[in-house]
Structure 1
Amino acid sequence: MMVSVQALQGLERRMEVSVPASRVEQQVDKRLLNVSRTARIKGFRPGKAPIHVIRKHYGVQVREEVVSDLIRETFAEALERENLMPAGGPRIEPLAAKKGGDLKYAATFEVYPQIALAGIEGMELAEPKAPVTEADVDAMLESLRQQRPDYVAVDRGLQDGDRVTLDFEGTLDGEPFEGGKAEGHQFAYGAGRMLKDFEDGIRGAKAGESRTIDVTFPTDYPAKNLAGKTAQFVVTLKAVEETRLPEIDEEFCKSFGVEEGGVATLRAEVRENMERELAQAVRNRLKAQVMDRLLEANPVEVPNALLEQEIRDMQLEALRRMGARDARQLPPREPFVADARRRVSLGLLLNEVIRSADLKLDSAKVQERLDEIVSSFADAEAARRQYLENEGALRQLQTMVMEEQVVDHLISKAKIKERKATFKEIMNFGASDASDQMGLPA
């Protein structure tokens, strides 16, 4: 077998393969012989037709099958011989496949980039350090109070912080419009849940009162038929309720599952949770910095096949989150390109870290992580069995653990400078999990 490889633009390669005619004919003859054992041809008993008759009836079909199989086999052999790793499937171009002649074809494909990792040793990271203070615990308890509000009907005008229940009906140029009518609509007044003109128009109104108000829709309003236009709304308030927060007492503690120890126990549990969340947030900050430094020090040429697959995966995930299933409703690809490129780049770099550092998946850490996950289920053992029987879920878990091992390895090589911070500063770092920045295949 003869193989030649030509480097095209970027990561693209064109590989021409020539398979000797003898190998092709040997496979054709072998397969025709197998066919002859069961072939049913008019005028002959089953399995008794001469080979030249079999060749006449099945020769073309068998040769096509042999050529297809040999292309698949020899493509893999040629890749191994040339030490090439394709990123995505090849485009096959048949060059010659005539009877009695060599089988020749060209395969065009992208390869993975060669990566020489830089910037690993001495990577500079900033680690924020902060205690959980009594004031932080107080603020968290206040947040918990906000989660347990009571609502009391009041006989006064509507003001910020109240909960209001109302009916409304809107018209545009005297005609009703879609989405312009509701009954029993309830929301927290002053929180920006409704358009500003709408909220301003009912400020000070009491339960039972009706008002007719003008509401101008923003020019960038999603409903194009309303954008920039002014509608009239008839609004009737059904209820105005004042928000009253509970006292932090025994009953309040019990509402969060603290049956004994009262406020002191609740504070201790809140502090413990805050310290755990703080540690994870610090870890996420370090992880994000590691990913940024790795990308900055190692620009990667991304195979287009991998990029397009990642974009497609992100589009499908967005479709799933929207509750749709029809792939024809995929959102536009452009908003996903930058994030997809980052993910693929990180995936390539992190896999190279694994290879160069000879990192192995720690099964004990996989077990620890699984224990954490199933501990939140009522029947932990049933959840464990279900997890282990789901190949996709288990593979995803293993990928998560491997990611953490990679980050641990990179942090161990870094120069870390501690920086004083507050609990609030660290926790406001961002809602996105640093694992979203990782690109290891699931």
Structure 2
Amino acid sequence: MQVTVEATGELERRLTITLPGSDFESKVQERLRSMVPRIKMDGFRPGKVPYKVVERRYGSAVRQEVSDEFVRDSFRDAIKQESLRPAGMPQIEPPQLEAGESFAYTVTFEVLPEIESVKLEGIKIKQPRAEVTDKDIEGVLKKLQEQHIEWEPMERPAQEADGVTITYHGSIEGKPFPGGSKENFFVILGKGTTLKEFEEHLIGVNKGQELTFEITFPEHYGNQELAGKKASFAVKVISVTAPRLPEINEDFAEKLGIKEGGVEALRQEIKISMTRNLEQAVRDRVREQIMDGLLVANPTNLPISLVKEETSILLEQAKNNLAKQGVNPQEISLDESPFVEQARRRVALRLIFSTILEKQEIKADQDKIKQRVTELAASYEDPEEFSRWIFSDRERLSEIESAVMETQIIDWVLDHVEILDESMSFEEVVNPQISPAKEKVQG
């Protein structure tokens, strides 16, 4: 086998692979002769069909079959011989199968970039240091109270923060419009869930009252068909209710699933949950810093084919998410461009992580895999059954292994970079502000 390699781009390679034509022809004839005893054809006894007849009938298909095998096997041997690592699917220019000629074909593909070593210079990690305080617990209790507000009927006029149930019918120039009518619509005054001008007309209303008023939709209203238009509404007030926060007592704790221990047990459950959330949030913040740092310290050209493949995956995920929300993806034109930078980031990180795994000879720690499965199983009614379900499927288990190896990579990086403690509150860690745009990935 003769192989020539041509660099046609930064990462693109063009291979010309040549094999003796006699080897190909011999294999074709061997395959055809092996078929003779099994061929049944009208006018001939079974197994007695002449070779020439078999060749005439099946020669073209057999030549294509053998050609595919030669290409597959020789390409595999060629990239091994030349120490090439293809990225994505190769583009094969099929050989011209002329009798007596050499079996030659060309393949064009991108190779994975060579990363000699992963650089860590300049990477500094801010490690959040925070704890769950009594004040944090009180804040969660307050939110739980608000989530379980009870609404008491009022005979007085509606005021700010009240809940008003109404039936309304809207029209524009005397004609109803889509979404302009609702039965038994509940609105909390001052929450901003409806247009401010609409809510202002409900301040001071009483149960059973009927009223009509006009509002003008904002120029930048979400529904462009209504933007800037004046609408008339006929409203009937069904009820006026005032919010009442439930007392934090044993009954409240039981309503939240605490069978024994009352309020103190509820506080302990909240603290355990918050501590778990805090630990995860710290890991997530450290992980993001490490990934950002690795990308900045290790710029590299990326195979276009891998970026396109990853972009397609992200686009498909977006379509699936729309479908889960009840949106028909076929009716929405999604552009790939918003997903390209995220795809580049993921491809770059995958290459960097692969290099770390290879150079540092990191293997998935089996004890950590079992520990991770145990942690996941703890939230299920039958942890043992969940664990068996994970270990019984190679694909599911490989997802756990990948997560564990990523954690091992993060731990290795942390052992080799500067870590700065950063004092933060619980809220600052678990509810971070929107982070600035990620560094663009070179290549």
Query: TM-score, normalized by length of structure 1?
Result: 0.90
C-alpha change, 1:13 and 1:162, in structure 2 (3 Å) is farther
The answer to whether the Cα contact below 8 Å between 1:210 and 1:236 also exists between their aligned partners in 2 is: yes
Q: In the comparison of the two structures, how many residue pairs are matched? A: 433
Q: Matched residue of 1:370: which SS?
A: helix
Return 352-361 or 268-277, whichever deviates more: 268-277
The answer to whether the Cα contact below 8 Å between 1:15 and 1:107 also exists between their aligned partners in 2 is: yes
Match of 2:426 in 1: 423
Q: Matched residue of 1:179: which SS?
A: strand
Which letter does structure 1 place at the counterpart of 2:132?
V
Distance 1:310 1:61 in 2: 36
Q: CA deviation at 1:219?
A: 4.2
C-alpha change, 1:110 and 1:257, in structure 2 (3 Å) is same
Match of 2:337 in 1: 334
Q: Matched residue of 2:375: which SS?
A: helix
Superposed CA offset, 1:21-51 (max 9, x none): 0221122012101221211233321221222
Which letter does structure 1 place at the counterpart of 2:272?
E
Q: CA deviation at 1:431?
A: 9.1
Q: CA deviation at 1:164?
A: 2.8
Distance 1:81 1:373 in 2: 44
Answer yes or no: is 1:400 the counterpart of 2:403.
yes
The answer to whether the Cα contact below 8 Å between 2:118 and 2:356 also exists between their aligned partners in 1 is: no
After the TM superposition, which residues 235-314 of structure 1 pair with which residues of structure 2 at under 5 Å, given as runs? Answer: 235-314=235-314
The answer to whether the Cα contact below 8 Å between 1:197 and 1:214 also exists between their aligned partners in 2 is: no
- Please, what is the CA RMSD of the aligned residues? 2.4
Which letter does structure 1 place at the counterpart of 2:226?
L
Which letter does structure 2 place at the counterpart of 1:403?
E
Match of 1:182 in 2: 182
Match of 2:317 in 1: 317
Distance 1:335 1:220 in 2: 24
Q: Matched residue of 1:89: which SS?
A: strand
Q: CA deviation at 1:414?
A: 1.7
The answer to whether the Cα contact below 8 Å between 2:123 and 2:297 also exists between their aligned partners in 1 is: no
Answer yes or no: is 1:365 the counterpart of 2:368.
yes
The answer to whether the Cα contact below 8 Å between 1:96 and 1:102 also exists between their aligned partners in 2 is: no
Distance 1:344 1:172 in 2: 53
Match of 2:144 in 1: 144
Superposed CA offset, 1:191-226 (max 9, x none): 222233332332332332233333444444443322
Answer yes or no: is 1:13 the counterpart of 2:13.
yes
The answer to whether the Cα contact below 8 Å between 1:319 and 1:330 also exists between their aligned partners in 2 is: no
C-alpha change, 1:395 and 1:152, in structure 2 (3 Å) is same
Match of 1:388 in 2: 391
Distance 2:219 2:389 in 1: 50
C-alpha change, 1:188 and 1:69, in structure 2 (3 Å) is farther
C-alpha change, 1:221 and 1:106, in structure 2 (3 Å) is farther
Q: Matched residue of 2:74: which SS?
A: helix
Q: Matched residue of 1:385: which SS?
A: helix
Distance 2:154 2:320 in 1: 43
The answer to whether the Cα contact below 8 Å between 1:197 and 1:215 also exists between their aligned partners in 2 is: yes
Which letter does structure 2 place at the counterpart of 1:232?
S
Q: Matched residue of 1:90: which SS?
A: strand
Which letter does structure 2 place at the counterpart of 1:126?
K
Which letter does structure 2 place at the counterpart of 1:75?
F
Unaligned runs of 5+ in 2: 439-443
C-alpha change, 1:354 and 1:234, in structure 2 (3 Å) is farther
Q: Matched residue of 1:48: which SS?
A: coil
Q: Matched residue of 2:89: which SS?
A: coil
Match of 1:346 in 2: 349
Q: Matched residue of 2:44: which SS?
A: coil
Which letter does structure 1 place at the counterpart of 2:114?
Q
Return 292-301 or 113-122, whichever deviates more: 113-122
Distance 1:111 1:391 in 2: 29
Q: CA deviation at 1:89?
A: 0.7
The answer to whether the Cα contact below 8 Å between 2:121 and 2:297 also exists between their aligned partners in 1 is: no
Distance 1:117 1:369 in 2: 29
C-alpha change, 1:117 and 1:41, in structure 2 (3 Å) is same
The answer to whether the Cα contact below 8 Å between 1:159 and 1:190 also exists between their aligned partners in 2 is: no
After the TM superposition, which residues 114-125 of structure 1 pair with which residues of structure 2 at under 5 Å, given as runs? Answer: 114-120=114-120, 123-125=123-125
Q: CA deviation at 1:66?
A: 1.3
Q: Matched residue of 1:113: which SS?
A: coil
Unaligned runs of 5+ in 1: 438-442
Q: Matched residue of 2:86: which SS?
A: coil
Match of 1:440 in 2: none
Q: CA deviation at 1:158?
A: 3.1
Which letter does structure 1 place at the counterpart of 2:412?
H
Distance 2:54 2:331 in 1: 47
Superposed CA offset, 1:56-115 (max 9, x none): 222122112211221122111111111111111111113532122112211111111112
Which letter does structure 1 place at the counterpart of 2:307?
L
Q: Matched residue of 1:110: which SS?
A: strand
Answer yes or no: is 1:379 the counterpart of 2:385.
no
Query: TM-score, normalized by length of structure 2?
Result: 0.90
Match of 2:109 in 1: 109
Match of 1:3 in 2: 3
Answer yes or no: is 1:409 the counterpart of 2:412.
yes
